[in-house]
Structure 1
Amino acid sequence: MDIFTTAQRSKIMSKIRAKDTKSEVLLAKALWKRGHRYRKHSKSIFGTPDLSFKKYKIAIFVDSEFFHGKHWDIIEKRPKNNAEFWQKKIERNMQRDNEVNVFLIQSGWTVLRFWSNDIKKNLFTTVRTIEKHIEEIHNRIYFK
């Protein structure tokens, strides 16, 4: 049972962002400070990654745990209200994420997906992971 009225819940849900989430902004600023230049939400790349490096064909997605189904198969606190809707929505999001990954990888892209809470807890590790991929691809391109 929801503790909020339908109108209150609607207002709360309307505040959830699809772009420029706190985790995404945190990661983007950290990469920018380290001298990395990227594109945000490039519609020319399939799946519209949150951050992308076209030069290196790296697509970065920052996924929220709830909407992208982290531990969906074992999660205990699934939504009780409108459960069928949420199950379909989250499972479709997970399916779409997989379709995007497959397409981009088959097109020669490196796909990096990070959970938003992991970015908040381990920002430096996340940045270093991205930098390692950039370095690896840079060396492959320029030092064949």
Structure 2
Amino acid sequence: MVVGWLHQSSCDSNQLEPPSETVSLTGRVRLSQKRGAIGARDSLSGVLTSLARTDVARIDQQVSFTLAPVYVELMTSTPSASDAIPVDPPPTHLGPHLAYAVQWFLFFAVGAVGYPLVLRRQARKGDAENLGPADD
């Protein structure tokens, strides 16, 4: 369960204790994060004390039980997790994707309108050349 992020300097796993009361959690199920072409890299072996990303397979290497290939990102809890900074929800806007789609639509429109115009101009130019001199 990802409940947020704690500053590494203030997080000593030996001082963390489970709550004594019943806890109710609501969250999003997320797929394990994979490293992209660039970015921070976690050690492939040994015990990690901090993570560059939530890689469930890597965490599974250092626990004694089997983990599901997903993790849960906390949205709300009762009682609240007061020490953690909540994770922002994923963006739901189209962002740059809409501009990219419009760009390709315009490329298509230029080709669909421009190519027939070029063919028409070439056909007229060819007709003018084939007329030759007028016979008397």
Considering the TM-score relative to the shorter chain, is it more than 0.5?
A: no
Q: TM-score, normalised by structure 2?
A: 0.23
Greater gyration radius? 2
Structure having the higher helix fraction is: 1
Higher normalized contact order (CA 8 Å, seq sep 6+, divided by chain length): 2
